[in-house]
Structure 1
Amino acid sequence: MKKIISYIYLLIGLLIIDSCIEPVEFSTISVDSNLVVNGILTNELKNHTVELSRTIPIDSTKLSPEKNATVFVTDNTGAIYNFQETEDGTYTSINTFSAEAAKKYTLNIETSNGQKYTSSEEMLPGTATVGDLDISIEENEISQIQELVIKANSNPSSGDGNYYRYEYDETYKIKTPIWSQKKLLIISDTNPYEFELVDKTPEEDGIGFCYGNQKSKKVLVTETLSLSQDQVIGFPIRQIPLDSYIIGIRYSILVKQYVINQNTFDFYTLLDKFSNPDDIFSQTQVGNIPSNVTSVDNPQEDKVLGFFEVSSLSTKRIFLNREDITEVDFENYQNLGSCAERVNPEIEDSRGRSPLLNRLRTGWIYQSPPDVLIIPPNKPYQLALKICGDCSHLGPVNPPDFWTE
């Protein structure tokens, strides 16, 4: 959900752009502190979340969460669903619940300074399950390279569908270019320096594999109004170059399909348009992005960014091995040539410093004993670049609970 707020932050600079394009001195930009809302209710029985923050200048990198607010959702039967702040700016429902058909839901917010906001009433659209995920190898028309393309299909919807939004959560198995069964511990980082060579443990260090994870960052929406039936057919979800290490060993993708209403579809469509840097100075203005959350006290001046979405959700996960996809070789995450370098620094040099300690603290790890017949007592350890022998910077060393081989 945080990616939606990231999209909105990209638009902040447009709030001060006139219809004419003029040079902008970013250091002098002042931005109104508008409330940013990101809330999704689905038909899942769970603790739902609402994220609140404030707009930030275009040259700022630090987020500004809206803390200590009062957040609750009401429905047209009089039920109240209270939320509590579980992280700065993140509010989670105290009790589990699921959005139900025929009920109308309203998001209510009161900030710590007493400003009140409310959303329009939103209903759960129809439901539709994810159908088969199509897998194909296609040539990218722009880059002219072969790609794995994953496309989504839906089963026919029940109720009012016609508008769909997709997200994906992918996980992939990675192998380190080199691997050692041992690691070097720093026992004393002051003179006299002391190090200990110990066996790696699978629970802490793994066995040479890691499990990377990425979530979709682009807006993925489509509609079926133009089709003969309310059914998504062959909608592209993910494209991965065939030589990518992401699909080098084993790959899994969880596709999430949301059935949404037209207002939600319009919001994401315009959000996608503004997130494209090629269109950043188009004639469409930020104020035209439809937010269904407004200020109670000052709706004309106190603008709100973001959206309160009520949608039905269906998911599907698949696993793919490299041999299921292609026979084309893949490129490892790290160039193998750069992994050939080895050093065996001194434990202590003539000036009382430890080159070994310095290497261990600056991106090197133990690889093996020195490749010589007689090992010098002051240089007993051969090191390799950590990025080559430890892939944990790309993901955990142990597989997630859902992972199967």
Structure 2
Amino acid sequence: MKHYKFITYILSFLVLLGCIEPVELSTLSFDTNLVVQGQLTNEVKKHVIELSRTIPIDSTTLDPERNARVFITDNSGMTYIFQETNSGVYTSVNQFAAEENKLYTLNIETSNGQKYTSTEEALPEASSISNLNVGIETNNIENIQELTIKVDSNTSGAEGNYYRYEYEETYKIRTPVWHKEDLIIVSDTPPYEFELIEKTEEEYGIGFCYPEKKSKELLLTETFTLSQDQVVGFPIRQIPVDSYIIGLRYSILVKQHVLNRNTYDFYTLLNKFSDPDDIFSQTQVGNIPSNITSVSNPTEDNVIGFFEVSSVSSKRIFFNRTDYFDFSTPFTNYWELTFCVDAIYPLIQGPAGNSPLADRLNNGWIYFPDDEGSPPGGGPYRLIRRSCGECSHLGVVNPPEYWIE
């Protein structure tokens, strides 16, 4: 639940103090600190800095920091300008990559003239992912079998003892039913008119979809305490074996960030106090040390967030369900969670003059033919729930460019 950890912390704190009076949490004051999420890597791309403000405990919306001036400088005299491309999101005007033997500083000036700057950060030595290993393991806590993806990495050198991982997963799903025609509304006023049209593959696909999801949790590990700087068998993703995510074909892109010690310590503390659903937008417990400070008022104007400079390597794998399971191992498809047995035959025009057919087409129902014809008193077209005959609400209908069958 959103803010659960934070609320639990406050309530526990009040109990320890022996407080017996009711406390209105909504009346607790908070500071509108600047929140910074900034990452600079050795990837040649347009980098992104996100700025917002801390929000009250009972707030559900992000408070972006608008119209700021954002730029990064290095110790060779180069300046990299960022512009606001979305509310509170600042993107570098040009593509560039962090380089070894350079020091980078993030600079921010808000619309009210407040200035912030980071410490100088160097690019750690890179480390490459050597393997992504897939296996089946037992989750003893939930007593289920899971497909587990683990990472191995090569040695990175003296600075490469701290790691952060993130992933992007893509999976292929299939609709339970598929038909090549679609029923569209030609006229939504009397006399109502509808038309069956041929579905185009570009717009509708052929009954498959490809959802994409990014990791939300902080995945951290270190090798500083080990005899050698090598990550072996670090778990990245666990998926129940009966999940539709691995029902047909699955791919995962894992990114490995090599961090310095201060960055690793920041993420470790952040991981303790943050909601994993959105780690940078939630109210934080206490002051987590940041490498960004206020130039105007460094003692009172605290900053939440960190300017990360990291070396990145990545690796992608694909596999089919049949690579690890036989056909006797069932899985729960996404559509089994909906009511795909439902079918209706709405009238083109109802007694009140409205169109039940148009209303249904506008509210999550699609055409699917019925060889037996409509029942007595029903309309001429059979409709089923859109989620049963289409899956575009979950992902794109055509394979991404990187997809390999």
* TM-score normalised by structure 1 residue count: 0.91
Distance 1:19 1:143, change over 3 A: closer
How far apart, CA to CA, are the structure 2 residues paired with 1:343 and 1:18? Answer: 53
Give the count of matched residue pairs: 390
How far apart, CA to CA, are the structure 1 residues paired with 2:289 and 2:135? Answer: 36
Instruction: Give deviations 1:121-157, integer Å, cap 9, x for gaps.
Output: 1111111001100111001111111000000110111
Moved over 6 A (4+): 9-18, 374-378
Distance 1:336 1:289, change over 3 A: closer
Distance 1:298 1:11, change over 3 A: farther
**Hey, what does 2:35 align to over in structure 1?**
36
Question: Is the 8 Å Cα contact of residues 370 and 382 (structure 1) preserved in structure 2?
Answer: no
Displacement of 1:288 in angstroms is 4.5
Aligned pair 1:354/2:343, yes or no? no
Displacement of 1:293 in angstroms is 0.6
Code of the aligned partner of 1:61: T
**Hey, what does 1:391 align to over in structure 2?**
391
Alignment of 1:6-405 (within 5 A): 19-21=13-15, 24-275=23-274, 286-327=285-326, 328-335=329-336, 338-369=339-370, 371-372=372-373, 379-405=379-405
Code of the aligned partner of 2:96: F
How far apart, CA to CA, are the structure 2 residues paired with 1:80 and 1:272? Answer: 32
Question: Is the 8 Å Cα contact of residues 26 and 57 (structure 2) preserved in structure 1?
Answer: no
How far apart, CA to CA, are the structure 2 residues paired with 1:353 and 1:388? Answer: 26
Farther-moved stretch of structure 1 (357-366 vs 182-191) = 357-366
Q: CA RMSD, aligned part only?
A: 2.3
How far apart, CA to CA, are the structure 2 residues paired with 1:353 and 1:214? Answer: 40
Displacement of 1:338 in angstroms is 2.4
Displacement of 1:365 in angstroms is 0.7
How far apart, CA to CA, are the structure 1 residues paired with 2:105 and 2:400? Answer: 36
How far apart, CA to CA, are the structure 2 residues paired with 1:103 and 1:287? Answer: 33
SS in 2 for 1:335: helix
Question: Is the 8 Å Cα contact of residues 257 and 313 (structure 2) preserved in structure 1?
Answer: yes
Code of the aligned partner of 1:395: G
Code of the aligned partner of 1:102: N
How far apart, CA to CA, are the structure 2 residues paired with 1:70 and 1:10? Answer: 34
How far apart, CA to CA, are the structure 1 residues paired with 2:10 and 2:95? Answer: 41
Question: Is the 8 Å Cα contact of residues 344 and 370 (structure 1) preserved in structure 2?
Answer: no
Displacement of 1:174 in angstroms is 0.8
Question: Is the 8 Å Cα contact of residues 36 and 54 (structure 1) preserved in structure 2?
Answer: yes
Instruction: Give deviations 1:325-347, integer Å, cap 9, x for gaps.
Output: 22221111021782122111111
Question: Is the 8 Å Cα contact of residues 370 and 380 (structure 1) preserved in structure 2?
Answer: no
Question: Is the 8 Å Cα contact of residues 171 and 210 (structure 2) preserved in structure 1?
Answer: yes
Farther-moved stretch of structure 1 (122-131 vs 13-22) = 13-22
List gaps (5 residues or longer) in structure 1.
1-6, 278-284
Displacement of 1:364 in angstroms is 1.1
Question: Is the 8 Å Cα contact of residues 250 and 320 (structure 1) preserved in structure 2?
Answer: yes
Displacement of 1:31 in angstroms is 2.6
Displacement of 1:356 in angstroms is 1.1
How far apart, CA to CA, are the structure 2 residues paired with 1:150 and 1:33? Answer: 40
SS in 2 for 1:323: helix
* TM-score normalised by structure 2 residue count: 0.91
Question: Is the 8 Å Cα contact of residues 102 and 123 (structure 2) preserved in structure 1?
Answer: yes
Question: Is the 8 Å Cα contact of residues 147 and 239 (structure 1) preserved in structure 2?
Answer: yes
List gaps (5 residues or longer) in structure 2.
277-283
